[in-house]
Structure 1
Amino acid sequence: MNRQQEFVLRTIEERDIRFVRLWFTDVLGTLKSVAVAPAELEGAFSEGIGFDGSSIDGFARVYEADMLLRPDASTFQVLPWRGKNPGTARMFADILLPNGSPSLADPRDVLRRALTKAGDLGFTFYTHPEIEFYLFEKELRRGRPVPVDSAGFFDHVPHGTAHDFRRAAITMLENMGISVEFSHHEGGPGQNEIDLRYADALSMADNIQTFKAVVKEVALEQGYFASFMPKPMAGEPGSGMHTHLSLFEGDTNAFHEPGAPYQLSGTGRHFIAGLLRYAPEFTAITNQYVNSYKRLWGGAEAPAHICWGHNNRSAMVRVPMYKPSKGQSTRVEVRSLDAAANPYLAYSVLLGAGLKGIEDELDLPPEAEDDVWNLTERERRAMGIEPLPASLDEAIRTMEESDFVAEVLGEHVFDFVLRNKRAEWAAYRDQVTEFEIKQDLRRL
């Protein structure tokens, strides 16, 4: 037993923790949980705890259902919303096969494999997400969500619901060791943003899953509900998860080169070129729902075209320069991700695309200086700016031809995502929408 595991067992005894929840994530990014008694933890650390993997989306077929959960002691945290005595804690768990090898269906291990490849090249991968979400009244009105306020971007509303909510959520996150950099009201009514302080990608993916659980818990405590749906209301901004990415070689930022344009190194330029080259192929991962494409193609600074720029918020990839004199802060921002993405898989494909750009020394195309949304289609074509997939169907068709995405995800996850998303598109296509009824029922 290692020191972290010993620390967990000692803390559980000292703090009267009676329930320990093992958290893991299915292929679609849904958080799963199983509670174990503290007395079972020592065995769980050494051997894992058995469960039926065939009951979890994408994990296993019925005839190969036996799987194991092994808790990661480094992720131990007490859950502040469950009360103090007796307490409840959680740890993320890795999914193993009965022989002790990692399950090919575990999204956490997909990301770990991608990080191992980066490590073999001498890189550590850091991410810093800006996570947007909506707060709604608990009850729908005429089948529609009702925002908790009518405020807008950066609005300060005295005694506002969003202020109280963000303060409570951030306090809870920090009590769990998750650092928050910024928070504010976003552009839509009831829309908020909380930015997490940068961390290595695996820790950050765990933090994002915890963040979503905390936001939903605090919302329920205050009598509201929170949604990370990419586009919950027509005519209002969608909820994205703009993510800042950087590669470090030891303590050195591999993206930084003093005196270069935007202080961006050749490594950074190749990384962006890889993101742009493979964007159509990985969009079904970073934007995995039918609703995701209503955000991407809904304007309001959502990026629908494959291009990059410095201070261009209509571009898919941006090179921010908030602190040009500070080399450690050089990074790239990917703006296409939505808040409903599975962070483990999303970060895997972004890292994989960037590394391909570095390995193949891909050339970075000229930057887009104009508002891409205001250009005509002919102007965009003349500039070589291609569109992202316009629907889940198009994204699926592009991904299924991608050897790159299949390699990053592994065939098991790759095949499951495609099957699941084809079924979602078929179910969506079968619907008769309110728009069609209003538009055509009496006219035709």
Structure 2
Amino acid sequence: MSTAPTPPPEPDTTRIAELAEAGARLLVGTFIDNAGITRVKTVPFDRAGTAARSGIGLSPAFAVMCLDDHVTATGKFGGPVGDLRLLPDLSTATVIDAERGIAWAPLDQYDQELARFPLCQRDVLRRQEQQASELELAFLAAFEIEFTLLTSSGAPVHTGPGYGLGPLLDLEAFALDLLEALATAGVGVGTLHPEYGPGQVEISLAPRTPVAAVDQYVLARLVIGRTARRHGLTVSFAPVTLADEIGNGSHVHFSATQAGHNVFTGGEQIHGLTTTGAQLIAGVVDNSCAAAGVLTPTIASYERLQPGHWSGAYACWGLENREAAVRLIRGSAGTRSASANVEVKSIDGASNPYLVLATILGLGLSGVREERTLCQPVEENPDAIPAQTRADRGIHQLPTSLPDALDRLEQSKVLRSILGEDLVDCLVAVRRHEVDTYTETPMHQRIQLVRDRY
């Protein structure tokens, strides 16, 4: 399972010294597995250089680790034999708590020959970023993070009203501490406010290049979790945390430039799209049903991914249409060259964010390579369109169950080409374990399971 030898760069001793001077005593390294769980390895900071040079051990069985820590198997993964090396990317490391001496870095996966491990999710995204540059495209991306804050008894910290002043006043101390902690960690924040559901809060992050955008998202979730604990609260990013409530999304916005021009504005196609911009959207829309197994991948996801939840339950696109899976955002007049972007709404926080963004960009790039024709936009609520009319227009509901989503993912040639055959097999195996184990479990127990894991 090794690639051509690509040794990691020699650790930057100047950067290590800077982090140590900033107070780093413990390095917390994170990677996201195929169940969307954030896993950690930590080392004393005086070993950071050694870890970045030769790695920290990891069993290849983590490729098929499930949300309940069961280890499933594919034809290639799941046994006790073998080893990988986790190397912290110290170029992106940051001190998140100088007083306690805690630093963070994302972890890359290598084999024992120090060649990139093909299933390294962070590197899968990195490869899509490189392929975009070969097409003379440059992407920026940003995440919106919805999460539920709960008291020690499991009750939501606020009961609304949605976006209300009252919940903000109740959460004022938490919000101010969180903003300070995010700024200390170098996380760019656009907005922070109470959301629609009980206990729900949303933060929108600043745009970054693709790998940096996901690194920032992972770091933001870590900081949110630490801040919540200091306030005696627990936090969940799960798609559903409370029965019969709206659920949490993890929307992704992306923009693309070609020769310095934003491809989602100033063109001659509908709503000002350029040809390349239309092709990018077409690639995502046309394959969004197959992508559901990556974007909405857990047993609770389909409680959220429903019409009427503004979760993007239909495989279509529209200008500012919050019920479409793909939403074109033009931005305000006079700023569109900088602000026009596309939002993919049908994503939740149980997914692996590196694979989410790799999937979105990879599908978009496939639309450019294939010169796909973009379907007509949907300018109304797709669920209000008569079923036969939807069918005639090619508007399809996204999968309504995890088994259906996994079948489509497993059969998708384009997603296998983007993510790799072995990685798709691992993703499917991990999530089929959920189906086989928890389908008959009462709903409240399934919600509890995912609420505590994400």
Query: TM-score scaled by structure 1?
Result: 0.90
Corresponding letter in the other structure for 1:330? A
2:68 equivalent in structure 1: none
Q: Which of 113, 129, 152 is 1:99 aligned to?
A: 113
Q: Evaluate the alpha carbon distance shift between residue 55 and residue 159 of structure 1 in structure 2; reply closer, same or farther with a 3 A threshold.
A: closer
Please give the alpha-carbon distance, in whole angstroms, between the structure 2 residues aligned to 1:122 and 1:32: 35
> Letter of the aligned partner of 1:84 in structure 2?
E
Per-residue CA deviations over 1:44-81 (Å, capped at 9, x if unaligned) read 3333333434356459544542211222122111122x
Counterpart position of 2:4: none
Q: Which residue of 6, 11, 14 corresponds with 2:21? A: 14
> What's the C-alpha RMSD, in Å, of the aligned pairs?
2.3
CA distance 1:217–1:237, shift in 2 (3 Å): same
Higher-Rg structure is: 1
Pick aligned residue for 1:214 from 198, 220, 223:
223
1:276·1:306 contact (CA, 8 Å) conserved in 2? yes
**Any residues of structure 2 matched to 1:55-94 within 5 Å, and which?**
57=64, 61-62=78-79, 64-80=81-97, 84=99, 87-94=101-108
Q: Which moved more, 1:343-352 or 1:163-172?
A: 163-172
Query: For residues 433 and 376 of structure 2, what CA distance do their matches in structure 1 show?
Result: 38
Match of 1:50 in 2: 57
Amino acid across the alignment from 1:236:
E
Provide Cα deviations, 1:183-227, integer angstroms capped at 9, x if missing partner.
111111211110001111101111111111111111111111111
Match of 2:142 in 1: 128
Partners of 2:60 and 2:27 in 1: CA distance: 20
Say whether residues 1:306 and 2:315 are aligned partners. Answer: yes
In the alignment, is the contact (CA less than 8 A) between 1:5 and 1:45 conserved in 2?
A: no
Residue in structure 1 matching 2:364, options 354, 362, 371: 354
Deviation at 1:16, TM superposition (A): 4.1
Alpha-carbon spacing, 1:307–1:176, altered in 2? closer, same or farther (3 Å): same
Find the counterpart in structure 1 of residue 73 from structure 2.
none
Distance (Å, rounded) in 2 between the aligned partners of 1:260 and 1:267 = 10
Aligned residue identity for 1:389: P
- When residues 315 and 111 of structure 1 are mapped into structure 2, their CA distance, relative to the original with a 3 A threshold, is same
Q: Helix, strand or coil for the counterpart of 2:323? A: coil
Query: 1:380–1:222: structure 2 CA closer, same or farther, 3 Å change rule?
Result: same
Q: Whose RCO is larger (CA < 8 A, sep 6+)?
A: 2
Separation of aligned partners in 2, 1:206 and 1:9 = 19
The change in CA–CA distance for 1:201 and 1:414 in structure 2 (over 3 A counts) is same
Task: Name the CA distance, whole Å, in 2 between partners of 1:397 and 1:42.
Answer: 43
Distance between the aligned counterparts of 2:49 and 2:331, measured in 1?
A: 47
Q: Structure 2 stretches of 5 or more lacking a match? A: 1-7, 66-75, 446-454
Residue pair 2:240, 2:303 contacting (<8 A) in 1 also: yes
Moved more, 361-370 or 43-52: 43-52
In the alignment, what sits opposite 1:442?
none
Equivalent position to 1:399, from 405, 409, 412: 409
When structure 1 is superposed on structure 2, of 204-213 and 317-326 the one drifting more is: 317-326
Q: In structure 1, what is the Cα distance between the partners aligned to 2:12 and 2:291? A: 37
Once the two structures are superposed, the pairs formed by residues 10-409 of structure 1 within 5 Å of their partners are 10-54=17-61, 57=64, 61-62=78-79, 64-80=81-97, 84=99, 87-140=101-154, 146-157=155-166, 160-249=169-258, 251-258=260-267, 260-297=269-306, 299-326=308-335, 327-409=337-419
Q: Secondary structure at the match of 2:324?
A: coil
Partner deviation per Cα, 1:344-396 (whole Å, 9 max, x = no partner): 00001111111111111111111111112323323322332111101101101
1:306 alignment partner AA: A
How far did residue 128 of structure 1 move? 1.5
SS at match of 1:24: strand
- Is the Cα–Cα contact under 8 Å of residues 11 and 52 in structure 2 kept in the other structure? no
**Alpha-carbon displacement from aligned partner over 1:224-243 (angstroms, at most 9, x marks no partner):** 11111112223322211222
Alpha-carbon contact 1:25-1:106 (below 8 Å) kept: no
* Pair 1:296–1:158, CA change in 2 (3 A): closer
Q: Which has the higher mean CA deviation after the structures are superposed, 18-27 or 404-413?
A: 18-27
Could you tell me how far 1:9 is from its partner in structure 2?
A: 2.1
User: Which shifted more, 47-56 or 199-208?
Assistant: 47-56
One-letter code aligned to 2:91: S
Change (3 A) 1:398 1:339: same
Q: CA deviation at 1:432?
A: 4.8
Q: Which moved more, 1:121-130 or 1:278-287?
A: 121-130
Aligned counterparts of 2:444 and 2:188: Cα–Cα separation in 1? 42
State the SS of the aligned residue for 2:289: helix
* Change in 2 beyond 3 A, CA 1:32/1:432: closer
User: What secondary structure is seen at the aligned counterpart in 1 of 2:287?
Assistant: helix
| SS, match of residue 126 in structure 1 | strand
Contact 2:11 2:49 in 1 (8 A): no
Rounded to whole Å, the distance in 1 between the matches of 2:260 and 2:37 is 34
Q: Structure 1 pair 138/433, CA: closer, same or farther in 2 (3 Å)?
A: same
In structure 1, how many angstroms separate the alpha carbons of the residues matched to 2:77 and 2:175? 39
After superposing the two structures, state which structure 1 stretch, 1-10 or 175-184, moved more: 1-10
- 2-structure distance, mates of 1:194, 1:55: 30
**SS of residue matched to 1:390:** coil
What is the CA–CA distance in structure 2 between the aligned matches of 1:307 and 1:224, rounded to whole Å? 38
Which letter does structure 1 place at the counterpart of 2:157? V
